Amino acid sequence: MVKMTDVAREAGVSTATVSRALNNHTKVDPALVDRVRAAAERLGYRTNHIARSLRRQTTDVIALIISDVANPFFTAVTRGVEDVAQERGYSVLLCNADEDSEKESTYLGVAEQTQVAGVILSPHRSATDVSRLRGAGTPVVVIDRPLDTDGDSVMVPSFEGARSATSHLLDSGWTRPAAIVGPAEAATAQERLRGFQRAMSDRGHLDAPFVHAAFRQGGGQEAARVLLDSPTPPDSLFVANSQMMLGVLAELRARNLRIGRDLGVVTFDDPPWAEFMNPSITAVSQPAYRIGAEAATMLLDRVAGGAEGEPRHVVLSTSLVVRESSRRLP
């Protein structure tokens, strides 16, 4: 491994000059800069970021802790984060908490120990503890799901999205909607459930059925099974994310139930496949890429400008993409 002292010797200057020249620091004689650059090039020198980080007490990487890599919503968020991070010279340490508090806390520890410059987190529960990180001066931006403690965030109005999706079901002529929401501990699950319930109670349906399940295909399928097996099965479903929707589709297929005729469905999240289903799936679309991009921008601004100052909250809006699955056929 060729290091700075090698370059310094080759260029006939001190390591300090090499450091300054390579990092286009303060004023360095242009001639020297060239000489150093040339020497570095010749030797194939590359900065040792570990050493730099130890000295600078911070790194060029930000951690992105998401709830599920298999979920297209989060991969779209990831692309948004990556694009702005890359543009600003940062790498992204992607951590898949996998809807599991324990894994999440492991990763929070990794983020701390590797001294990442900042963290973007989609917390599993609102009680997730980020105090150590913040205590160490590491900026944290929360996305998708809120935290009990205040701080920078990029959110989407889950309540309103769920409410409008449910109202739409009712408007389309379905009379007995039920909801399949995420696990009780997830804030987005609670919000989406509240939105659903509000829409229902506004129309006089007071005890609308719902079931909590894991934010995954298996969870969605299990929930659909329970609901459809109940004494008074629903005639339509509001499903709280696209992974669960896949499970619902599996269950409907197993029971030979046809969407649009036997059952209306709407899902939160608009995965790429939704429009190509037959019938196509009505969805509450979230600006996932923008959520990621905004969060990364906000985070890197903090990294540069210091963590002080009022918490900032960005709320992006959802939109209901009406397709065929919510239409009631005769």
Q: Which residues bind a second copy (CB under 8 A)?
A: 1, 44, 46-51, 53-54, 59, 61, 69-70, 72, 75-76, 78-79, 82, 86, 91-96, 103, 106-107, 109-110, 112-115, 132, 136, 217, 246, 249-250, 253, 271-273, 275-279
CB of residue 308 vs DNA: minimum separation in angstroms? 19
CB of residue 221 vs a second copy: minimum separation in angstroms? 11
Report what 15 binds from DNA, a second copy, none; CB cut-off 5-8 Å by kind. DNA
Report what 250 binds from DNA, a second copy, none; CB cut-off 5-8 Å by kind. a second copy
Closer residue to DNA, CB minimum distance, 51 or 329: 51
CB of residue 57 vs a second copy: minimum separation in angstroms? 8
| Three-class DSSP category at 71 | coil
Report what 109 binds from a second copy, DNA, none; CB cut-off 5-8 Å by kind. a second copy
CB of residue 281 vs a second copy: minimum separation in angstroms? 10
Closer residue to a second copy, CB minimum distance, 70 or 184: 70
> What span, in angstroms and rounded, lies between the C-alpha atoms of 209 and 197?
9
DSSP class of residue 328 equals P
Using CB under 7 A as the binding rule, whether residue 87 contacts DNA is answered as no
Contacts of 140 (CB under 8 A, 6+ apart): 118, 119, 120, 121, 130, 133, 134, 151, 152
Query: What six digits make up the tokens of 154?
Result: 């990029």
Using CB under 7 A as the binding rule, whether residue 56 contacts DNA is answered as yes
DSSP string, 32-52: HHHHHHHHHHHHT----HHHH
Letters for 126-155 (x = contact with DNA by CB under 7 A, - = none) are ------------------------------
Using CB under 7 A as the binding rule, whether residue 59 contacts DNA is answered as no
Provide the sign of the torsion angle of the four alpha carbons 151, 155, 157, 161, taken in this order: negative
Query: What six digits make up the tokens of 185?
Result: 């501990």
DSSP string, 217-234: HHHHHHHHHHHHHSSS--
Query: What six digits make up the tokens of 130?
Result: 């980020």
Using CB under 7 A as the binding rule, whether residue 201 contacts DNA is answered as no
- Pick from 38, 54, 70, 254 the residue near DNA by CB under 7 A: 54
> What span, in angstroms and rounded, lies between the C-alpha atoms of 98 and 112?
19
Using CB under 7 A as the binding rule, whether residue 22 contacts DNA is answered as yes
Q: Would you say 282 and 321 are in contact if contact means Cβ atoms under 8 Å apart?
A: yes
CB of residue 105 vs DNA: minimum separation in angstroms? 19
| Three-class DSSP category at 174 | coil
CA dihedral 317, 323, 326, 330 (to 10 degrees): 160
Residues making contact with DNA (CB under 7 A)? 1, 3-5, 12-20, 22-23, 25-29, 31-32, 45, 47-48, 51-52, 54-57
